[in-house]
Each structure stands twice: as C-alpha cells, then as structure tokens.
C-alpha cells in the first residue's frame, strides 16, 4: 500500500522541462536554467533538462504540408521534443542572445513549431486536452551587450511561441553584460533569481500572473 501511495504522489508532481539552446555546456544561460530547474525541483516538481545541441533538428523547409495535416513531414528529433513540450506542465526555455535575437539552435526549434501553429490556427484543432490543466512557461536570456533593447525581440518571440504551445507566459529573466563563459556565477543576484523564479513557476497553488513577471539584471 505504501508503494502505491508513493507512486500516486509522484504522478501528481508537476512535470517541468528545461530546454537549453546554448551551444556552450555550462554557458551563462545554461547555468541559469539549471538553477531554475533546481528551484522547481525544490518545490516538488519532476524536472528534465534537455540540451538542443544533443538533438538533431533540421530547419523548417516551409513546405506547408502541416497546413493540411497539422504535423511536420521532416523526420528528426523535433518530434520527440515536441511531444515532451506538449506533455509538460511547465517549460523553462533558456537562450543566449546573438545579434539581438535568440540563438540559431533556439530559432530552429521555434520555427519547427510552425506545424503546431497550423494544427491550432489553420486546422482549428486542439493540440492537447487542456481541460483543468495549468501550463506555464518562462524564458531565460543572457547577452553580452549593454543595451536592454535586445530583450524586446525575445519577449515578442516567446510570447507567440508559448501561445502556440498553449502555455501561459509566466516569467522572464534577462541578464545583460555577460560575455565570458560562467561569468553569471559571480553575479550577485542572477543565480538566486533563477532559483526563485523556477521555484515560483512550479508552485501549483498560485494562479498564473496576469502578465509575465519581468526581471532584468545587469
């Protein structure tokens, strides 16, 4: 009986996946993601870390087949990642900023979600059964520039990306002036904020925010 109760309790835990788009292992955005996942785990969530560079994902070929089928004809690891994203209760997406936008690895995955957009908005079919489900997402972005304008494109991209995934855009953590690998570990508050936001994201007893919590650090 005890084993059954433990299993049922574990099944009730929120599923939180973290997607690291950084080409660097232990890059600044990657480190913040790991810290946010640790925060979510401390709140009782089941976490999974996914590094995009470990997967084979081709760019969208814009064949528009998905406008008829709602699915992508390109056979690669995108389908595995898509299933994980749609199954998760929470998503934490982390990317470095290149030329004022998400990095190439992130953009490839986001663009491949065009098939989800077609499924939802062209074919007018539900992606998942969202009845009673509270799905939320947050983004972590780190750049080396002094300009805060680089976060503007990230906000807009993630707003529409999370909408396609049927997820509430819950939070953003943006850190600029981070150029050297691992530099964020010496930031006085970035790592703590990542942990706190991850912990808060995994809290199931609080309603989703009306607008994203927005944290910018320099």
Report pLDDT digits (tens) over 51-101. 999 999 999 999 999 999 999 999 999 999 999 999 999 999 999 999 989
Is the predicted pLDDT of residue 7 greater than 50, yes or no?
no
The residues spanned by each domain of the chain are 15-217
pLDDT value of position 11? 56
Helix (H) or strand (E) segment spanning residue 96: strand 90-98
Domain 15-217, CATH homologous superfamily name and number: Flavodoxin domain (3.40.50.360)
Please answer whether residues 58 and 76 qualify as being in contact, where contact means their C-beta atoms are separated by less than 8 angstroms: yes
DSSP states of 99-121: TTEE-HHHHHHHHHTHHHHIIII
* Per-residue confidence band for 118, with pLDDT thresholds at 50, 70 and 90: very high
Helix axes 78-87, 104-112, angle to 10 degrees: 80
In angstroms, the CA 18 to CA 50 distance is 6
Instruction: Decide: residue 190, CB within 10 A, 0-12 exposed, 13-18 middle, 19+ buried.
Output: buried
Task: Name the strand (E) or helix (H) holding 172.
Answer: strand 168-175
Over residues 121-172, the pLDDT tens digits come to 999 999 887 667 889 999 999 998 888 788 999 999 999 999 999 999 999 9
Give the confidence band of 4 by pLDDT, cuts at 50, 70, 90. Answer: very low
Give, as one character, the DSSP assignment of residue 58: P
Structure tokens given for 121? 């908005």
Q: What is the pLDDT of residues 160-179, one digit of tens each?
A: 999 999 999 999 999 998 88
């Amino acid at each position: 009986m005890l084993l059954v109760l433990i299993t049922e309790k574990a099944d009730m835990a929120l599923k939180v996946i973290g997607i690291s788009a950084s080409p660097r292992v232990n890059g600044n955005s990657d480190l913040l993601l790991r810290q946010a996942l640790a925060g979510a785990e401390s709140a009782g969530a089941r976490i999974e870390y996914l590094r995009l560079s470990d997967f084979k994902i081709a760019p969208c070929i814009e064949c528009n087949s998905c406008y008829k089928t709602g699915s992508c004809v390109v056979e690669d690891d995108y389908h595995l990642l898509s299933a994980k994203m749609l199954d998760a209760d929470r998503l934490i997406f982390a990317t470095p900023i290149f030329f004022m936008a998400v990095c190439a690895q992130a953009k490839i995955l986001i663009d491949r979600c065009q098939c989800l957009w077609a499924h939802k908005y062209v074919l007018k079919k539900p992606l998942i059964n969202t009845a009673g489900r509270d799905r939320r997402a947050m983004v972590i972005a780190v750049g080396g520039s002094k300009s805060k304008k680089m976060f503007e494109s990230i906000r807009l991209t993630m707003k529409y990306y999370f909408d396609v995934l049927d997820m509430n855009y819950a939070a953003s953590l943006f850190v600029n002036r981070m150029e050297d690998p691992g530099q964020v570990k010496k930031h006085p508050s970035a790592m703590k904020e990542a942990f706190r936001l991850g912990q808060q994201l995994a809290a199931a007893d609080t309603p989703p925010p009306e607008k994203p919590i927005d944290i910018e650090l320099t």
